[in-house]
Structures are given as C-alpha cells and as structure tokens.
Structure 1
Amino acid sequence: MEVTNLVVLPAVLAFFVLCLYFITKVVRLGKHPNLNLPPGRLGWPIVGETFDFMRTMNEGNVLRFIQERVEKYDARVFKTSMFGDPVVVFCGPAGNKFLFSNENKNVQVWWPSSVRKLLRLSLVNKVGDEAKMVRRLLMSFLNAETLRNYLPKMDSIAQRHIDTYWEGKEQVFVYPIVQLYTFELACCLFLSIEDSDHISKLSLKFDEFLKGMIGFPLNIPGTRFHRAMKAADAIRKEIRMILKKRKVDLEEKRASATQDLLSHMLVTSDPSGRFTTEMEIIDNILLLLFAGHDTSRSVLSLVMKYLGQLPHVFEHVLKEQLEISQGKEAGQLLQLEDVQKMKYSWNVASEVMRLSPPVSGAYREAKEDFTYADYNIPKGWKLHWNTGSSHKDPALFSNPETFDASRFEGAGPTPFSYVPFGGGPRMCLGQEFARLEILVFMHNIVKRFKWDLVIPDEKFKYDPMLEPVEGLAIRLHPSHF
C-alpha cells in the first residue's frame, strides 16, 4: 500500500498541476476574445493534439501532421496545442525566415519542459545577451579553423572504428554501431575520453537520457522522463569528476588549454572577464555530447541507407573519395584541404538531410503580442517550425521525393527552404563539426565496403531523432581500395 501511494500520489498531484496550468491558459485566452488567431484547434484539455503529433513522430512522418492541417485550414500558419501549451505552427520559407530573423525581437528560443529540465543551465535555456555570450564561447572552439587541428584525429578514430566493428563482418546493424563512432568522436574532442570501456558505459547512459527528451515531464518511477533524469544526473557526475581533475592538471601543466572543449571552457573568459561556472560547463558539455553525436548518428545511418539503395550515387561518391586518396601519401591522414574537395559527397549528405531530416523542427516563444500573415499571435504562445514543410514542397524542390544531389550545386536551394540546421542566431552551432565527422566517415567507409540493405523498406521513426526501427541491417561486401 505504501509503495502504491508513493507512485500514485505524485502522479495525481502532477495531473492536478497540469489541469490548473491548462485552465489558467484558457482563462488568459478568454480575456482576449477579439483576437484574430490563426485557424486550427487546441484539442483536448492538457494534452491538446500532442498524441496526434507524437503518433506521426513514431511513424517517422511528422510532415503528415503539418500537411493535414495546412490543407484543412488552407493556411501556411495554424494553431494547435502540444505538451500543455498553445502552439502556432509556421510553414515554408516565409515562416522559417520570420522566426529565424526575429530571434530576440518578437520571439525567443523555447523547448518543451522535458528538454528544459534535462538540459538545465545549458545554451538551450539561455536567451538574449546571455545566449550570445555562451554561443560565442562555444563557437570559438567549434569553428572550422579550430576543428581543422582535430581532423587527423577524427580520421584516425574512423579508421580504428571500421577496423574494430566492421572489418570481417558479413552483416552489421548500422544505427547502434555508428553511434560508437560518433560518440567516441564527441567524447574525444570535448572531454579527451579515449578509453573504449568508459565510452561504452557512458553511451548506455545517454541512451536512457535521449529517450526521455521529448514528452510529458512526469518525474515518477517507471516513466521515460524519470529514467532520463537519473541518467542525466549520472552523466553530470562523470563530467564533474573529469572537470575537477582537469582543473588540477591545468594548474600543474599536465593538461593543455587547447586539448579539448573542456579545457577551452575552463580557461576562456567572456569580454567582461567572467569565467563560466562549473555547472554551466557541465550542462553545456552534456548538451554537446548529446547534439554532437546523436544527430550525426541519424544522418550517417540515412547516408548508408541511401547509398545502399542508389548504386550510381555510391559510385560517384567513391570516385570522389578515391581521387582524394590518390593525391595523398600512404598512411597520411585527412586534412581540412582534403575535406574541402568532398563537394559531391556533401551534396549527397545534404540531399539525405532534405529527404529525411534527422530533426523534425524546433520551437520558439512569442516575447510579445505580434501579427503574422494578418493573424494575432499572443505573447507567451509557443511557435514551431518544421523542416519538412519546406523540404518536401514541390514549389521549392521539383519532384521532391526523388533523390537528386545536384539540387545543391551552384547557388543551391532558395533561402530558408533548406533548414536541417535551423537558421538565424540559433543555427546549430555544431554544424561544422557534424559536416566533418560525416564526411570523414563517408571517406573511409566507401573505400572499404559496398553494401546492400537486409530490409530495403525498413521504417524510420523520430525518437527523438530519426532512427531505423530495426537498426538498419546491411550485408557488407569488402572492397579495400
């Protein structure tokens, strides 16, 4: 009985709080009966249309949720309700441009409560000048000129990963195996962790952490969110131990100020001379360990899928990578100049992200009342942009379901139509890191293997990144160019 009460009473209390929260929202909305709100419906109390949205995420087709409402209301902007909040969904390049260019003016970043609680003091929860300061600090490490110094290391890790987990195998499951590569890279560049056992144990904790990222933040035993919070605490404890030791090593000259992101954050101050607090460093590294490996794992899995389905595309990628290898001495590792020559390979990765974006979209919040497309958007309402609303628009991309890497030649797509990394002041700060780790892997894997898909029509779902339901099994055929 006591155990039951410990579980049920918090759940009832949480439900009561959510009800009170929703009622408050409705009362506030009732105070403005003359607002010309976007078309749409708020759905059921508290949950709104969350379950419809989550169902399409689980189907790997969030765009269906968007398209059904765009067609029903005949509008490129509509209202709904998700995760306990009224939400306005902005569609297409015009919507993307408005949200991206009005950051810190009409709108500011917002994420569902589950994300905010898991990532606490990180950049995710920073706005205004504070967010600019944190971005500036992180970008001073994650820019191309700094990352070029780590490229040979990235190439070495990719080669060792393929030797260990791919060589000699007839069949592999891409999604779980490629995570070992992307997570090792993130651990190495951000924390200088190179021990494989340590990385594997930390990776398991991240799996629990990621599964509770999007959803209702009910922190009671048995829920995804509760397991995610426990995993986040365990990861923070690990990072804190590394941080404490690193501070001593830096003081005693046993560590370098440029060896990784952790050292960089410990020794770099903002223009006013203020250093980042330990908890801010820990939470931002937690954020980057998550963002720095999980989105790339999704993209690389999808690259492997499309290259396995499209042999003519594979051959073009292989030709480009062999030309780069032939211009290097045996055993010489990749440099930034080599990666800059991988234009077709990056066009292929870009087309993969257009057709199957690893992230379905992101959120903002209205800082004040404003008007968009003649509709009133109330202060405090949440705003959502979705990658698919422009990526699959035939007015922007002819034959949008057809794979065509040439779309990215020359000037490329229409501005604000291709947004896998977002845009504006909140554009993904790990974009260059992701580009390098994706291209380094493509360079190495196509020279070692050809492959075909065990389940050609395998389904993908968002959880929270786009992932193959069965792990994407492939049959390997060694090449060794």
Structure 2
Amino acid sequence: MDALLPYVIALLLPHLFLLYLIISFMRNKNNNLPPGTRGWPALGENLELALLGPAKFIKDRMENYSPDVFQTSLHGERMAVFCGAQGNKFLFNNENKLVTSWWPKTMRKALMFPEFVDTNVKQVSALKRSFHHDILKPEALKQYLPVMDALARQHLDHEWIPNAVVKVLFLSKKYTLELACRLFLGLVDPEDVKKLADPFNVLTQGMSSVPIDLPGTAYNRAIKGGKMVRQELTRIINKRRKELMMETTNESTKRPDLLSKMLLVTDENGQLFSEMEISNNLIGLLVASYDATASAVTAVMNYLAQLPHIYEEVFKEQMEIAKSKGPNEMLTWEDIEKMKYSWNVARESLRLTPPGQGAFRETITEFTYAGFTIPKGWKTFWTVHSSHKNPEYFPEPEKFDPSRFEGSGPPPYTFVPFGGGPRMCPGKEYARLEILVFMHNVVTRFKLEKTIPNEKVVLHASPTPVHGLPVRLHPHEN
C-alpha cells in the first residue's frame, strides 16, 4: 500500500484543487465578496507578489478585478486590498471601529520573542503607541537636532570624504542605525552598534521574503537574525536597568535616550515593563530606522545625483542656511523650517520610491465597501502603489516634480508614505529631520554623480538598488 501512496496522491491532487476552486467560487458568489483570486492552496499569491513586485501586482489586479478593492491570499490569510484615496481614507478613518492592528504571523515570528508571536499586536505595541508619540513629537525632537547634525558631519568625515566613490545605501544604513542606537538606546561605541547591525541586515533582507522556513532560505535566515537581535537587545536592556538602579532618580530621569525612559515607565497596574516587552517595542523602531529611513535617504540621494536642476535648487536653499551660520554652529529647528524646497524634493522621492509598501489590518466586524462584503476576521491591506502613481491624483506620475507639494499639495489620502489616521507612523517627524539634516550636510559638501545611470532597483523590505547606489563625489571648492 505504501508503494501506491504517491500515485494515489498524484491522482487526487487535481481533483482536490478543482474542488478548492469550486468552493472558493461559491463562497465569492454567495457572499458577494470582492473579486479576485486566492492563488494556490497554502501558497496563496505570495509567489506572484514576489515575482511581479508590489507595484505591478497591485496595478494588474486593479485593472483585472476592481479599482476599489480586490481579494487575494497572502501570508496564509484571506485578504481584501483597498485601493486609491477612498480606500486609504476608509481604512484610516475606521481604525478601531471596523479594523484593528494586525501583522502577518510570518513577520511576528521573525521580529518578536516566541512567547509573543500569537499575542494581539495592540497588546504588544501598547507601550510604543502610548509612549513613543510623546517622545517623537516635534517639541521633543528638537533636543535631538544637535546630535543628528554632529553625527552626520562625523559620518561624512569618516565614510565619505576619504573616498572618490561611495555606495549610498550601505552608508545610509550605517548612519541611520548609528543615530537610532544613540538616540533610542544610548549606544556610542561603534562595536556595540555593529553587534546589532550585522543581524539587522539579515533580518530586514529576509523578513518580507516568501515565508518558507527551510534551511538556506532568506526567511529562515531572517528568523535567525531576529533571534540574534533580540538577544543583543536583551543584553543592552539588562545592563541599562542595572545602571539605572545604581543612579539617583534625578540622574535617571535626565538620561536622554528612549530606552532609559522606557525602563522607568509603568503599565496601568503600576508594573514596570519586562525586558521582552521593551525589546518587542524597540525592535520595530530600529527596523524602521535601519531599513525604511535608510531607503528614504538613498532615494533622495539618487534623485539629487540623477537630476542636476533639482540638485541646484536644493543646493541654493541649503547654502543660504549654511552661510547664515558659524563654522561649528549646529542646525536649529528654525533652519529645518526654512528647508521647504528640500522637503518637497524629499516628499517627491517618497512618492516615487516609497520605503514602505502599506500596512495590514484585521476586520473586527463584517462591513460593506464599494458594494462588496468584507467578512469579520478577514485581513485588509492599504497600499501606496494604488495612489502614488495614479495619474488622476498626480499628472505625469513618472515625472519628478517637487512643485506637486507646493501650496495645499496633493489631494488628501493620495500621498501616504507614513500612513494616516490614528495609526499614522509616529516616526514621521523623526524621519523628516533625519532626511533633511543628511541632505544639508551632503549637498553643502558635494555634488553627486551616479556611476551606474540605469541601476536596477529591487524590493526586499524596501526598494534596494542592486549595487547599493554608487555615486562619485565632487567636493565643492572652498
């Protein structure tokens, strides 16, 4: 009998798949579900998403099924993908009413401690949502500006000036992680930063890959990288907790880094948060700083190197600010507010090359959208790719045009690199400061020239130039 088993399975598989398609069709027909396909059993459409890339994946399905909402299967879940400004608005404005936070289990498995993988995301991120908003507000961020500026200068002195050609992506990741480690963790030793940087690179590269946990796969490596990151964070947290116990209350509260403040926060029951809870909250911030912000910085540098007329306007604006300051005088909040054209350039870069692809939610009650039923328990996804290059919102969408953001800017809910509504990324202002400070320091020192004019960009967790965006540096004459 055992010998016949492979033949029996081979004979039954086509019939089982046909039955699966019939059941799926009947469910869609009976429940008025959004049009679309769930792809292959178990695999869903993960492979198609990886092969096509999110922009083409979304575009094809909007054309073939519906420009408002379509269904698919990703990360082992039935999912409704909401499209366009109206889809963004609907999900943003119904947070905690019709939908709530959700991350794919494959992501949670790579990022979190095993004990928290099946925990509600809202519970895991409770500390982050209630606490980080205050820490990352513009008023609080003002104290970070001198550190950002000083570290950017130091980074360019050590990593850029000695070289004729630099790879922007790799150096951007190094800079953004060093800055995050200093501001969030209070780390100043480069060796301590390197202990996090190496596994972080593995984690972010494989976290959004096809979720096959087998030896040798990118996802398997991401899980191992995440474990190493958590171990290092736990070591840092334990060490800092011991240091705080040795200090007076006055000394502890004066520590500027986020970790030290987290260790003094209590929950609603007056209990301090555990090392694992703090690590789970920190790792999201660090991943965003390491990958998403570095991707945003890289995109800006790419367009500055590629478009001389854009560079010249940014250069003029930044040099006016530089000339108004002494040689060792740091940037101030007032200086940042003067960088209006530079920020429009950064926003246009984020429109064309968004570092994040969108976000997931889970439906907490059945509802109707665009005439279709979205059942309770389904997952939803809003995506930058359904609006950022839509000619209805952005005429000549492939053209780089910072003037789109002048005046009132683009229509609401069309430009969404940071999301929107109650769940808008709390790090939006932090990212704005980091990008503008880096732009100022690079542009006032160098003109950039791409060494690979048509370098291909692929998607890992964020858009990634395959060669790391090598640029030739042309230092300005004094």
TM-score w.r.t. length of structure 2: 0.90
Where 1:212 maps in the other structure, the secondary structure is: helix
* Aligned-residue offset at 1:216: 4.6
Distance 1:27 1:72 in 2: 21
Structure 2 counterpart of 1:398, which letter? P
Quote the residue 2:67 is aligned against.
75
1:35 aligns with 2:24: no
Quote the residue 2:142 is aligned against.
148
Distance 1:301 1:35 in 2: 45
8 Å CA contact 2:43–2:76 kept in 1: the answer is yes
* Aligned-residue offset at 1:272: 5.2
Greater shift in the superposed pair: 411-420 or 31-40: 31-40
8 Å CA contact 1:460–1:468 kept in 2: the answer is yes
Quote the residue 1:324 is aligned against.
321
Map Cα deviations across residues 236-268 of structure 1 (whole Å, 9 max, x no partner). Answer: 221122212211221222864332010010112
Quote the residue 1:165 is aligned against.
159
8 Å CA contact 2:105–2:117 kept in 1: the answer is no
Match of 1:238 among 216, 222, 232: 232
TM-score w.r.t. length of structure 1: 0.89
Distance 2:142 2:418 in 1: 20
Within a 5 Å distance, the mapping from 1:58-457 to structure 2 comes to 62-120=54-112, 126-127=120-121, 131=125, 134-253=128-247, 256-257=252-253, 258-270=255-267, 273-457=270-454
Where 1:393 maps in the other structure, the secondary structure is: coil
8 Å CA contact 1:114–1:216 kept in 2: the answer is no
8 Å CA contact 2:457–2:464 kept in 1: the answer is yes
Distance 1:320 1:124 in 2: 50
* Aligned-residue offset at 1:400: 1.1
Structure 1 counterpart of 2:82, which letter? F
* Aligned-residue offset at 1:302: 0.8
* Aligned-residue offset at 1:74: 4.4
Where 2:453 maps in the other structure, the secondary structure is: coil
Quote the residue 1:14 is aligned against.
none
Change in 2 beyond 3 A, CA 1:323/1:25: farther
Quote the residue 1:3 is aligned against.
none
The count of residues paired between Structure 1 and Structure 2 equals 456
8 Å CA contact 1:447–1:480 kept in 2: the answer is no
Map Cα deviations across residues 303-327 of structure 1 (whole Å, 9 max, x no partner). Answer: 1110011111111111111111222
Greater shift in the superposed pair: 81-90 or 403-412: 81-90
8 Å CA contact 1:79–1:87 kept in 2: the answer is yes
Distance 2:124 2:422 in 1: 13
* Aligned-residue offset at 1:28: 9.5
8 Å CA contact 1:104–1:127 kept in 2: the answer is no
Change in 2 beyond 3 A, CA 1:235/1:75: closer
* Aligned-residue offset at 1:224: 2.2
* Aligned-residue offset at 1:201: 3.3
Change in 2 beyond 3 A, CA 1:224/1:248: same
Distance 2:181 2:393 in 1: 38
Where 2:178 maps in the other structure, the secondary structure is: helix
Change in 2 beyond 3 A, CA 1:421/1:215: same
> 5+ unaligned residues in a row in structure 1: which ranges?
1-19
Distance 2:192 2:22 in 1: 49
8 Å CA contact 1:172–1:475 kept in 2: the answer is yes
Distance 2:428 2:21 in 1: 37
Change in 2 beyond 3 A, CA 1:124/1:144: farther
Distance 1:111 1:129 in 2: 12
Change in 2 beyond 3 A, CA 1:271/1:140: farther
Quote the residue 2:52 is aligned against.
56
Map Cα deviations across residues 33-53 of structure 1 (whole Å, 9 max, x no partner). Answer: 620111111121111222111
8 Å CA contact 1:367–1:380 kept in 2: the answer is yes
Map Cα deviations across residues 379-418 of structure 1 (whole Å, 9 max, x no partner). Answer: 1222111102111111111111111111111111111000
1:469 aligns with 2:466: yes
8 Å CA contact 2:391–2:397 kept in 1: the answer is yes
8 Å CA contact 2:203–2:221 kept in 1: the answer is yes
* Aligned-residue offset at 1:274: 3.8
Change in 2 beyond 3 A, CA 1:32/1:323: closer
8 Å CA contact 2:101–2:122 kept in 1: the answer is no
Change in 2 beyond 3 A, CA 1:295/1:339: same
8 Å CA contact 2:103–2:121 kept in 1: the answer is no
* Aligned-residue offset at 1:31: 6.9
Measured on the aligned residues, the alpha-carbon RMSD in Å equals 2.4
8 Å CA contact 2:102–2:121 kept in 1: the answer is no
8 Å CA contact 2:72–2:78 kept in 1: the answer is yes
Greater shift in the superposed pair: 454-463 or 126-135: 126-135
